[in-house]
Amino acid sequence: MKQDQPRPTPRAGIMDIEAYVPGKSTAPAGVTKVYKLSSNENPLGPSPKAIEAAREVAGKLDVYPDGTARRLREAIAEVHGLNPANIICSNGSDEILGLLAQTYLAPGDEAVFTEHAFMVYKIYVQAAGAKPVAVKETDERADVDAMLAAVTPATRIVFLANPNNPTGTYLPFSEVRRLHAGLPKNVLLVLDAAYAEYVRRNDYEAGIELAGSAENVVMTRTFSKLGLGGARVGWMYGPAHIVDAINRVRGPFNVNATAIEAGIASIRDRAHVERSVQHNEKWLGWLSEQMIGLGLRVTPSVGNFLLIHFPDDKKHSAAAADDFLSQRGYILRRVTGYGFPNALRMSIGTEEANRGVVDALKTFLKS
């Protein structure tokens, strides 16, 4: 080790990581009303019961939370019919994804994911010193054959976002099972089902059954898309040996007290969940029809967002549309980093926000 370096330096590879850039949340100066449609948040907000539960914790913030989040795990297990011993709760599902990479990847290992997948997969793989392997998609959807072809003796993890962000596309569960069947037993299949609640397709499953029966499958979920994005609550379900390994490396109090209580109240408020899903189903279809009617291509989505593709001419590009919408308070997500330089991702918003974006784009495209 060199002793003459002028300051501490990160280990090799860290500075090669492109930092994650979240969707913007502010409008240009002078815009008085902002509609944030860049982060796939719930336009109905959190469950009122979750808000009340969070308030009740406020007077007890001097006390450490339960390090095992036992009551939250039990609430999740109760709703989904699971064994709480096979659940780990986390500071958002992002933390679990990072812990899986930290635990199961070493320098020289490889991890496979699709080309338009959630950007944190690549970040966590690189942070572990392993090699990220991005696989081409077909029609903006994961291609099982291509993913299996990318698996080598060095592969240790395959990440599958189902549905995927930012495309909104999904694999039917028969294809997920085919992917799993083709993997070596020592390769961990991570089913990232962050948007599972919103999917209304008969051939879709989040992955609970497979994660509960296979030794090399886990499913990750989040509370963020149903109203608790600010609380940062996620969870993983999987076999006992993986739960045991992750519990050895996670932080001892990785889910804070407010998040635990809000999470318990939120997941038990099934009426709020159903209202959120119904709102999304109504406006997802409406927005898709409107965007297509404007002559824009929309990737078919089963999530709570749409990927909207813009014309190739500079005047009506995604960048120009983003500037036009931002000046009017509509904040969408640029997705250049995901491999879509001429598209915007739009979260399903309130009725006012949804109609406002459509009207603004009508004006923009006529300009």
326 with 196, same domain: the answer is no
Phi-psi region for residue 315, left (φ > 0), alpha (ψ -120 to 50) or beta?
alpha
With a cut of 80, say whether residue 3 has pLDDT above it. Answer: no
With a cut of 80, say whether residue 252 has pLDDT above it. Answer: yes
> How many residues are present in the chain?
367
How far apart CA 151 and CA 112 sit, in angstroms, is 7
Whole-number Cα distances in Å, 129 to 15, 119, 289, 353, 357: 12, 16, 44, 42, 42
Residue type, 356: G
Q: What is the CATH number of the domain that holds 168?
A: 3.40.640.10
How far apart CA 175 and CA 267 sit, in angstroms, is 29
231 with 335, same domain: the answer is no
Q: Strands 234-237 and 217-222: what pairing?
A: antiparallel
Query: What pTM was computed for the model?
Result: 0.95
61 with 150, same domain: the answer is yes
Tell me which residue of 287, 303, 300 sits closest to 361, measured CA to CA: 287
25 with 95, same domain: the answer is no
232 with 307, same domain: the answer is no
Given 3-state DSSP classes, what are the helix, strand and coil percentages for the chain, each rounded to the nearest 5? 45, 15, 40
Q: What is the CATH number of the domain that holds 36?
A: 3.90.1150.10
251 with 228, same domain: the answer is yes
| Beta carbons of 101 and 124 less than 8 angstroms apart | yes
339 with 213, same domain: the answer is no
Q: DSSP of 149-207, one letter per residue?
A: HH--TTEEEEEEESS-TTT-----HHHHHHHHHTS-TTSEEEEE-TTGGG---TT---S
With a cut of 80, say whether residue 358 has pLDDT above it. Answer: yes
Q: DSSP of 243-295, one letter per residue?
A: HHHHHHHS-TT-S-HHHHHHHHHHHH-HHHHHHHHHHHHHHHHHHHHHHHHTT
89 with 175, same domain: the answer is yes
Q: What would the pLDDT profile of 89-100 be if each residue is shown by its tens digit?
A: 999 999 999 999
The residues, ordered by sequence, that sit 6+ positions from 363 with a Cβ below 8 Å of its Cβ are none
Whole-number Cα distances in Å, 269 to 53, 68, 73, 76, 337: 12, 22, 15, 12, 36
Among residues of the chain, what percentage have pLDDT more than 90? 92
Residue 348, both tokens:
């399903």
Residue 323 lies in a domain: yes
The DSSP symbol for 13 reads T
Residue 23, both tokens:
């969707």
Residue type, 328: R
- The number of domains in the chain is 2
pLDDT for the residue numbered 201: 96
pLDDT for the residue numbered 121: 98
Q: What would the pLDDT profile of 277-308 be if each residue is shown by its tens digit?
A: 999 999 999 999 999 999 999 999 999 999 99
Domain hosting residue 32, numbered range: 14-45+271-366
pLDDT for the residue numbered 29: 81
Residue type, 293: G
Residue 166 lies in a domain: yes
Q: What would the pLDDT profile of 19-41 be if each residue is shown by its tens digit?
A: 888 888 887 888 889 999 999 99
What are the phi and psi torsion angles at 33 (to 5°)? -125, 125
With a cut of 70, say whether residue 237 has pLDDT above it. Answer: yes
258 with 293, same domain: the answer is no
